[in-house]
Chain A
Amino acid sequence: MIVKDAVCPFCGCLCDDIEVEVEGGRVVAVTNACELGTTKFMGEKRMKNPILRDGNQWKEITCDEAVRYAADMLLDAERPLLYGWSGTHGEAQCVGVHMAELVRGVIDNTSSVCHGPSILAIQEVGHPGCTLGVVKNRADLVIYWGSNPIDAHPRHLSRYTRYAEGFFLENAFRDRKVIVVDVRRTETAEIADEFVQIKPGGDYAVLSALRAIVQGKTETIPRTVAGVTREQLVRVANLCKSAKFGAVYFGLGLTMTRGKYKNIRNAIELVSELSRHTKFTISAMRGHYNVYGSNEVNTWMTGYPFGIDFSRGIAFYNPGETTAVDILARKECDAALIVGSDPAAHFPRRCLEHLSEIPVVQLDPYPNATTAFCNVQIPVAVTGIDAEGTAYRMDGVPIRTRKVLSSDYLSDREVLLQMYTLMQEAKGQ
């Protein structure tokens, strides 16, 4: 059986033109997806049954036992952390927020360690963004700043920018210029019309220099700024000003370096400056396929996009205090529910030291690094493969992921709902 127009649940591009061939309950071939998406569709190393850590060994338990364990763990905890959420569908994220509120816990998603700083900047100065379709059809200049789509979002270039056709561009490949700004000469840099190599940590200075040039203050710029010559900066500023429609896509090269959200704020303000001369937009290259959804769901349910603390009985948000890395590093939480992410692989070791000291339940289809710190892991269906649900593309467009095959695994939402029901009963609701 061939399933057409399947949605790829890997990165924030959420490509919706995938063809998946299914035979005997297995995916046997994938067309149109990149290497990352193909591998995810073909992945077979699922965990079979829920597992419980019993001393120094693992034993298999039933799903009911695992759900009961998780519900009791959250009910008994004084300050539970509910973390992850970017690798699951919006409907499951919704249940997660309700659970966090019920037990007065902290709910945080992976954006606190990816584009959280971008959101802090957007909260300061706004987000002049647009959908990917607008960029594809109109942009004659695309800037990738601190992002490497060839490795991280492989089809971004072919669907929307470098190699894409554009409705309002006669010859998109010739008429659309691509500028790459990075500290590394990545593969993406090789396909750029202009590559701007910045000394590490110099993004803020280069953004400020470009803003000054766009404002007509070129004479204030020194001969080089963070390793970039004044001549190149002027050339880039002129390319931007002479574009009919420019789009900046920035990655973790801006959010994870010195300055963090201030870098993004400066980039957004450069885009505002350019919009006095022409049309310019800026957007983040979101990583997980539904990390944008976790921000959306959290925001419309609580008012805040990530790092939400319900301990006061109301939603409280203070990144640096209510975010997962900080809470774990301060050894503050006394239980953790992990859904759709792998903090043991992606958090600093100090956080893992605390994970090893508290009860942890994880919902994940695969054994991963966090499995080692779990008391219980419940394998679930993979959204976009054997479960369906809503995900938000990196430009904020919600797309319903499709189920391409059926399995016996429950979806994240189904497992979480069972937990939530038990918790409500225990609370007498």
Chain B
Amino acid sequence: MTYLMLTGRTVNQGVTVENKTSAEYAAETSTCFMHEFDMLELGLDNGDTIRVTGPCGEVVMRAVMSEEVGMGTVFVPYGPYANHVVAADTHSTGMPDFKSHQVEIEPTDEEPKRVHELMEDLGGLAYDR
């Protein structure tokens, strides 16, 4: 199924943002807030893992029911997970489409990776696991 992915600040993202190697930051920024009917349609319970595929890659997140988003739209606190699927095209403005990406979402049995694992997949070396 295809959804519109928005990203943005949440309080929990903000309080963990200076502690990016923490499990709390990873948990918050790998949360995909969805409408309950969309979750029902995909057969998802709260906290189930999902594979989110965007124009330039895929990443595993956790689906959490939210009354804030409408059907067809999902919200992800901004951070390394959302940016794993966001394209770098800026349409000559300098700004990527952080709030207007179409993504595919499907249930999966895989667990979300930790932040340092995502960085190492791209050629980095974790300092503080």
CA distance A152 to B86 in the complex (A): 21
CA distance A316 to B119 in the complex (A): 32
B123, CB-defined interface residue at 8 Å: yes
CA distance A369 to B116 in the complex (A): 7
A191, CB-defined interface residue at 8 Å: no
CA distance A80 to B52 in the complex (A): 34
Contact (Cβ within 8 A) A260 B73: no
Q: Which of A109-117, A167-175, A234-242 forms contacts with chain B? A: A109-117
B128, CB-defined interface residue at 8 Å: yes
Kindly identify which residue among A258, A349, A356, A369 contacts B115, using a CB–CB cutoff of 8 Å: A369
- With contacts A255-B95, A320-B92, A367-B21 known, is A56 near B125, CB below 8 A? yes
- Per-residue interface assignment for chain A, residues 310 to 345, with 1 indicating a CB less than 8 Å from any chain B CB and 0 otherwise: 000000000111011110110000000000001011
B23, CB-defined interface residue at 8 Å: no
* Distance between B13 CB and nearest chain A CB, rounded to angstroms: 8
* Distance between B60 CB and nearest chain A CB, rounded to angstroms: 14
- Per-residue interface assignment for chain B, residues 105 to 129, with 1 indicating a CB less than 8 Å from any chain A CB and 0 otherwise: 0000000000110011011111110
Of residues 11 to 42 in B, which have CB atoms within 8 Å of A's CB atoms?
A: 11, 14-16, 18-22, 29
CA distance A200 to B69 in the complex (A): 11
A418, CB-defined interface residue at 8 Å: no
Residues in B neighbouring A256, C-beta threshold 8 A: 7, 95-100
Contact (Cβ within 8 A) A152 B14: yes
Contact (Cβ within 8 A) A349 B122: yes
Contact (Cβ within 8 A) B96 A345: no
Residues in A neighbouring B83, C-beta threshold 8 A: 345-349
- Per-residue interface assignment for chain B, residues 71 to 114, with 1 indicating a CB less than 8 Å from any chain A CB and 0 otherwise: 00101001110011111111111111111100000000000000
Residues in B neighbouring A253, C-beta threshold 8 A: 8, 99
- With contacts A350-B87, A352-B119, A356-B122 known, is A35 near B15, CB below 8 A? yes
Contact (Cβ within 8 A) A346 B78: yes
Contact (Cβ within 8 A) A186 B68: yes
Contact (Cβ within 8 A) A113 B123: no
Q: For residue A326, which residue of chain B has the nearest CB?
A: B90
- Per-residue interface assignment for chain A, residues 98 to 110, with 1 indicating a CB less than 8 Å from any chain B CB and 0 otherwise: 0000000000100
B6, CB-defined interface residue at 8 Å: yes
Kindly identify which residue among A154, A326, A345 contacts B79, using a CB–CB cutoff of 8 Å: A345
Q: How large is the interface on B (under 10, 10 to 19, 20 to 34, 35 or more residues)?
A: 35 or more
CA distance A353 to B57 in the complex (A): 12
Q: Which of A38-46, A123-131, A274-282 forms contacts with chain B? A: A38-46
CA distance A57 to B129 in the complex (A): 13
CA distance A256 to B56 in the complex (A): 18
* Distance between B108 CB and nearest chain A CB, rounded to angstroms: 19
Contact (Cβ within 8 A) A113 B98: yes
Kindly identify which residue among A150, A184, A345 contacts B69, using a CB–CB cutoff of 8 Å: A184
Contact (Cβ within 8 A) A367 B128: yes
- With contacts A36-B11, A323-B94 known, is A369 near B80, CB below 8 A? yes
- With contacts A253-B99, A325-B94 known, is A185 near B15, CB below 8 A? no
CA distance A148 to B14 in the complex (A): 13
Kindly identify which residue among A252, A320, A352, A373 contacts B99, using a CB–CB cutoff of 8 Å: A252
Residues in B neighbouring A40, C-beta threshold 8 A: 18
A257, CB-defined interface residue at 8 Å: yes
A201, CB-defined interface residue at 8 Å: yes
* Distance between B114 CB and nearest chain A CB, rounded to angstroms: 11
Kindly identify which residue among B80, B94, B99 contacts A319, using a CB–CB cutoff of 8 Å: B94
Contact (Cβ within 8 A) B15 A372: no
Contact (Cβ within 8 A) B88 A329: yes
**Subset of 24 A-B contacts with CB under 8 Å:** A36-B11, A45-B18, A45-B22, A116-B94, A117-B94, A150-B11, A201-B100, A253-B99, A256-B95, A256-B96, A257-B100, A260-B91, A319-B92, A319-B93, A320-B90, A329-B88, A345-B79, A347-B88, A348-B56, A349-B56, A355-B124, A366-B19, A367-B21, A373-B124
B interface list, Cβ under 8 A from A: 4, 6-11, 14-16, 18-22, 29, 56-57, 67-70, 73, 75, 78-80, 83-100, 115-116, 119-120, 122-128
Those 7 A-B pairs whose CB atoms lie nearest each other, nearest first = A356-B123, A372-B124, A323-B94, A320-B92, A372-B119, A329-B88, A256-B99
Q: A260-B95, A373-B119 are in contact. List 20 more A-B contacts (CB 8 A).
A: A120-B93, A152-B14, A183-B6, A184-B73, A184-B75, A185-B68, A197-B70, A256-B7, A319-B92, A323-B90, A345-B20, A345-B29, A346-B78, A347-B96, A348-B88, A349-B88, A352-B122, A357-B123, A367-B21, A372-B125
